[in-house]
Amino acid sequence: MAAAAATVTVSPVAGAAEVIGIHSLEAWTIQIEEANAAKRLVVIDFTASWCPPCRIMAPIFADLAKKFPQAVFLKVDVDELKPIAEQFSVEAMPTFLFMKEGDVKDRVVGAAKDELSAKLGLHAAQ
């Protein structure tokens, strides 16, 4: 049952109160364009399958997605989609990026769940 909490659900609908796994540049573009058009906060988890802190943060990130359904939560594997990680200068995992209308508003680097939660509360209220 614990493994299910860390499962990434792929959904064609942005912001369905779940984490949306991004597995292609096309999927990335679609999700970002939809979120920008709706002026929604986008929270991106840059992760890697080999990263133990990323695995620790996965269920926390999924729980935050349920608590903040007004935001869009995306998960990007840096090894799978290196161009996106490079575009945002991601150098450590996990890195969480906060974007609104195409602009990076903030970031959290590392498995800092309290900082992630606090910044999410701050940016979701704006």
DSSP 59-121: HHHHHHHHH-TTSEEEEEETTT-HHHHHHTT--SSSEEEEEETTEEEEEEESS-HHHHHHHHH
49 is catalytic: no
Comparing CA positions, the residue from 49, 52, 74 lying closest to residue 61 is: 74
Q: What is the DSSP letter of 8?
A: P
Catalytic residue among 32, 41, 54, 120: 54
Catalytic residue among 8, 20, 48, 51: 51
120 is catalytic: no
Rounded Cα distance, 56 and 25, in Å: 26
Q: What three-state secondary structure class fits 25?
A: helix
Please give the positions annotated as active site: 51, 54
